[in-house]
Chain A
């Protein structure tokens, strides 16, 4: 079984626009999903330069980009991935 990989952008723009809250995910995810999901704190994923800061913070769940990410949005996306049996 492949893992879901979660990349949280810790670039300046995402951090300032609210990624600080997303750091909570590094605690929540292992607790909730065990080793099914891997969390990677990433340096700038560079979505802000193409899409402007208004949609930051960005998170990547595998290859899907979540804009204006919140803890709830991210968990929802992971749940959908796992449920759809894609993994």
Chain B
């Protein structure tokens, strides 16, 4: 679904209001009042059946924004209590996603359906072309027997009246690994054993029923406690806000961060190590290697695609290296990875050097709440300047280019890009693993999101404009050494 829609607008509005409440002198009470402020008495009811349901769903969204799971939350507890507990929490919650049952439409199940447009024609190509004998004529019109239908969509293609449609459940349809499905009541449930936290369901749900559990209150609490909170900004941020990364550093310092490091600095290490590893693997006779910097892809390999694990690079991610640098520089730091996607939250949970993750929507909301006009800020330089290649890591093809640059023509690299994980690309990857080779190249760059990290589920900008902004910005950066 297009990023510019009312569900994402609503989620961002709630983030801003929650952060504003935190910055106010009564966090608990002002949080409790948000649903009433957004839907005051007598206001119009834009989406749901009544104002009370609107407010209840807003309340649930705020609970997720405070970092709690909505499954199993207690209706009797005031938001002010959740706000209090969010500040007392020492570690972020284990799973990163949560489903709002109250907001979930309970969509009709995935199926092929004959609409009233069916003319009951003489040709009946739907019946003739159905391999499974699932279609028959009832009361002069085609009808599908769902127990026989295999969802092949052949009938849709052949109907001259376009009378047959495929009804999809957007979240199920978006999930590349079948980790989300309906429970007995017809509401979406995530199977966390299968979930690769790619965030595709979050972007796909038209009711905004799937939320990330935000860690923003944990981070703001650490800043308030005057801890040394250090922001690690992912390379894809360069195209996300109306400012450059030097102004962004100024803005983060204004918000109380102690220092800001470019994750691109870690990306430079990833590229260098991955180039070395690639050359070594090829010398040892392996036919291809895949990259290993995308958290969604790493989850996919670990949970569903073990056969490709021997071909996946052992090199660590840019997040890993920069977090290590951060903790060496500031041993008492609280590190916050600033991320384009929810998948990095799952990676951070397994890395003791990364304490929290803040996504771009949360970052944007933080600046709005602080009333920071980004384009008017002075620039602050970084102690270490990252390379052009490292800064391009978040664009599809960027990682492969970095490895090629780091390799300096030593091994013969022929890159193949997997631009987005979906059922089709998973099948292709399985094929490469089975054959032990890939006919399209020897270095396979895998990005879970289309367009690369700039297509992450938490990005603020469109892929096209973000890519252009990063390319323009990195033109003048130094080449990888």
Contacts and interface: CB of A to CB of B under 8 A. Distances in A.
B368 interface: yes
Contacts of A44: 373
B12 A17 contact: yes
B3 to A, nearest CB: 7
Nearest to B251: A12
A6 interface: no
Contacts of A68: 9
Interface size class of B (residues with CB under 8 A): 20 to 34
A10 B361 CA distance: 16
A38 interface: no
Contact of A43 (B371, B376, B465): B376
B298 interface: no
Contacts of B16: 53
B9 A12 contact: no
A15 B364 contact: yes
Contact of A12 (B12, B38, B241, B361): B241
A9 to B, nearest CB: 10
B368 A12 contact: yes
Interface residues of A, number: 20
A37 to B, nearest CB: 20
A64 interface: no
B242 A24 contact: no
B373 A43 contact: yes
B368 A24 contact: no
B365 interface: yes
Interface in B1-37: 3-4, 8-9, 12-13, 16
Interface in B434-481: 460-462, 465-466
A53 B374 CA distance: 16
Contacts of A53: 13, 16, 368
Nearest to A70: B4
B113 interface: no
A32 B242 CA distance: 26
B364 A16 contact: yes
Q: Which of B242, B364, B460, B466 has the most C-beta atoms of chain A within 10 angstroms of its own C-beta?
A: B242
A40 B117 CA distance: 47
Interface in A51-74: 53-54, 68, 70
B13 A20 contact: no
Contacts of A48: 368
Contacts of A13: 368
A30 to B, nearest CB: 16
A16 B462 CA distance: 12
B130 interface: no
A70 B9 CA distance: 12
29 contacts: A11-B242, A12-B241, A12-B242, A12-B368, A12-B373, A12-B374, A12-B375, A15-B241, A15-B242, A15-B374, A15-B460, A16-B241, A17-B368, A18-B8, A18-B9, A20-B240, A20-B461, A20-B465, A21-B3, A21-B4, A21-B462, A23-B465, A24-B462, A43-B373, A43-B375, A43-B376, A53-B13, A53-B16, A54-B13
Given A16-B365, A16-B460, A20-B466, 14 more contacts: A12-B367, A12-B374, A16-B241, A16-B361, A17-B13, A18-B4, A20-B461, A21-B3, A24-B462, A24-B465, A43-B375, A43-B376, A53-B13, A68-B9
